[in-house]
């Protein structure tokens, strides 16, 4: 496990872990607020956000992409609320209307524009290409200390690490208001906490994680990361802090095991190429959830 590992597998695994943890962190609160499907909505709407950013700027650099995605998330939330209030429509249906329309618009825009130069196409958008985020400039473990080799790191790695940092900082900083407003919103508002903007901020932070993950794992797999590790974690403990810790562990495990199975699994059974790492990561997170659902100590209500 030497030079080849560092060049071909280290960076995808690290990116995968960052994606998984960055999504699992806000996912804990989305789950507890019964907003798990906002993750579904977010992961569909980041696509048009990114495409619009590309059409306006001609590039897919981090700044415009993030702004595009955040803008799309805010637009989606506003639209969903409007539909809910005006039509007195339940939130699931309202979400379904908004995110399918936005996703459809994103796909059509994508198909109609020339994005061949920036690896932005529908397949990518759906399930990314984690396996391709390799570190060609690496010659072995020593390259970690080599500045010129480090310059050749795939840009997705620092980007995802930064997103993880932002998400982690938000969760750490606003831990108390998030816990308070999720448990008892009336009481939180009575304390003067602005629960509306806080909820919106949580959604925006989730969108940031989703868009940073976009390049690596596409949009749909992100949902698995928002939901499965936190859901499995909830069934392991009755304490919020412990739940978040478990979710981070499960997320990292899913990323590592998923990538290894996708990359090396086929080799082990005699096939040639690898299978989708993103898909395998999602699958593994589902297996972890299934195990927790059958054996987790706190898997039923009131336990």
Partner 1 sequence: MNVQNIHLVTDEAIEKAEAERTASPLAVRNLTVSYGQTPAIFFVDLTVRAGAMTAIVGPNGAGKSTLLKAALDVIKPLAGTVTVFGAPLAEMRDRIAYVPQRASVDWDFPTRVIDVVLMGMYRQLGLLGRVRSKHRAAAMDALDRVGMTDFATRQIGQLSGGQQQRVFLARALAQDADVYVLDEPFAGVDAATERAIIGVLKDLRDTGRTVLAVHHDLATVPDYFDDVVLLNTQIVAAGPVADVFTEDNLQAAYGGRLTTARVDPESVAG
Partner 2 sequence: MLGDALLLQLGYNATLVTLGAALLGITAGVAGTFLFLRKRALVSDAISHATLPGVGLAFVLMVALGGDGRWLPGLLLGAAVSAAIGLLCVQGLTRATRLGEDAAIGAVLSVFFGFGIVILTVVQTMTAGQQAGLEGFLLGSTAGMLRGDAVLLAVSAAAVLALVLILRRPLELAAFDPGYAEATGWSLGRIDLAMMGIVLVVTVVGLKVVGLILIVALLIVPAVTARFWTDRAGHVVIIAGAVGGISGYIGAAISAVAPALPTGPIVVLVGFLLFLVSLLFSPGRGVLASLLMHRRYQRRVHMRQGLLALAQGQPIFEALTRRLMHRAGLILPDGVATQSGQAAASKALLDETRWALVRADSSFAVAATRYDGLTPIEDVLTPDQLRDVDGRISAPKAV
Among the listed ranges 4-12, 60-68, 156-164, 281-289, the one in contact with partner 2 (CB under 8 A) is: 281-289
Comparing CA positions, the residue from 297, 141, 152 lying closest to residue 233 is 297
Closest contact distance (angstroms) between CB of 213 and partner 2 is 13
Closest contact distance (angstroms) between CB of 207 and partner 2 is 16
Burial of 287 by CB count in 10 Å (0-12 exposed, 13-18 middle, 19+ buried)?
Answer: middle
Quote the CA–CA distance of 252 and 223 in Å, as a whole number: 15
Among the listed ranges 4-12, 60-68, 93-101, 202-210, the one in contact with partner 2 (CB under 8 A) is: 93-101
Q: Does 176 bind partner 1 (CB under 8 A)?
A: yes
Quote the CA–CA distance of 259 and 294 in Å, as a whole number: 25
Angle at 293 between CA 203 and CA 204, to 5 degrees: 5
Among the listed ranges 16-24, 144-152, 155-163, 181-189, the one in contact with partner 1 (CB under 8 A) is: 181-189
Tokens of 197: 């903007």
Choosing from 71, 158, 177, 286, the residue that interacts with partner 2 (CB under 8 A) is: 286
Q: Which lies closer to partner 1 via its Cβ, residue 44 or residue 234?
A: 234
Q: Which does 189 bind (CB under 5 to 8 A by kind): partner 1, partner 2, none?
A: partner 1
Residues from 118 through 177 that contact partner 2 (CB under 8 A):
122-123, 126-127
Quote the CA–CA distance of 115 and 121 in Å, as a whole number: 7
Total residues at interface with partner 1 (CB under 8 A) = 27
Q: Are 261 and 244 in contact (CB under 8 A)?
A: no
Contacts of 80 (CB under 8 A, 6+ apart): 41, 91, 94, 95, 98
Q: Does 243 bind partner 1 (CB under 8 A)?
A: yes
Closest contact distance (angstroms) between CB of 11 and partner 2 is 20
Q: Which does 256 bind (CB under 5 to 8 A by kind): partner 2, partner 1, none?
A: none
Q: What is the Cα Rg of the chain in Å?
A: 20
Closest contact distance (angstroms) between CB of 281 and partner 1 is 25
Residue linked to tokens 């749909």: 220
Angle at 302 between CA 301 and CA 303, to 5 degrees: 95
Site residues (vs partner 1, CB under 8 A): 32, 173-174, 176-177, 179-180, 182-187, 189-193, 234, 237-240, 242-243, 301-302
């Amino acid at each position: 496990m030497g030079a080849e590992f560092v060049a071909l597998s280290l960076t995808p695994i690290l990116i995968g872990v960052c994606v998984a943890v960055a999504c699992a962190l806000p996912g804990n609160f989305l789950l507890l607020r019964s907003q798990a499907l906002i993750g579904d909505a977010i992961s569909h709407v980041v696509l048009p956000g990114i495409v619009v950013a590309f059409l306006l700027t001609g590039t897919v650099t981090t700044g415009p992409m993030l702004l595009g995605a955040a803008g799309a998330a805010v637009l989606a939330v506003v639209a969903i609320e409007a539909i809910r209030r005006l039509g007195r429509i339940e939130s699931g249906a309202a979400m379904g209307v908004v995110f399918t329309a936005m996703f459809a618009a994103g796909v059509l825009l994508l198909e109609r524009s020339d994005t061949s130069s920036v690896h932005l196409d529908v397949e990518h958008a759906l399930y990314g290409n984690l396996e391709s985020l390799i570190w060609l400039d690496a010659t072995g473990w020593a390259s970690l200390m080599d500045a010129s080799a480090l310059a050749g790191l795939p840009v997705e790695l620092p980007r995802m690490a930064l997103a993880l940092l932002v998400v982690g900082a938000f969760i750490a900083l606003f831990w108390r208001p998030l816990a308070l407003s999720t448990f008892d919103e009336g009481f939180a508002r009575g304390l003067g906490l602005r629960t509306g903007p806080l909820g919106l901020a949580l959604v925006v932070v989730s969108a940031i994680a989703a868009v940073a993950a976009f390049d690596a794992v596409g949009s749909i797999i992100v949902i698995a990361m928002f939901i499965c590790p936190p859901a499995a974690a909830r069934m392991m403990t009755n304490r919020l802090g412990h739940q978040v810790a478990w979710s981070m562990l499960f997320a990292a495990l899913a990323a590592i095991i998923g990538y290894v199975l996708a990359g090396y699994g086929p080799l082990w059974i005699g096939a040639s190429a690898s299978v989708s790492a993103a898909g395998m990561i999602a699958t593994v997170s589902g297996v972890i959830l299934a195990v927790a659902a059958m054996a987790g100590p706190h898997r039923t209500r009131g336990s």
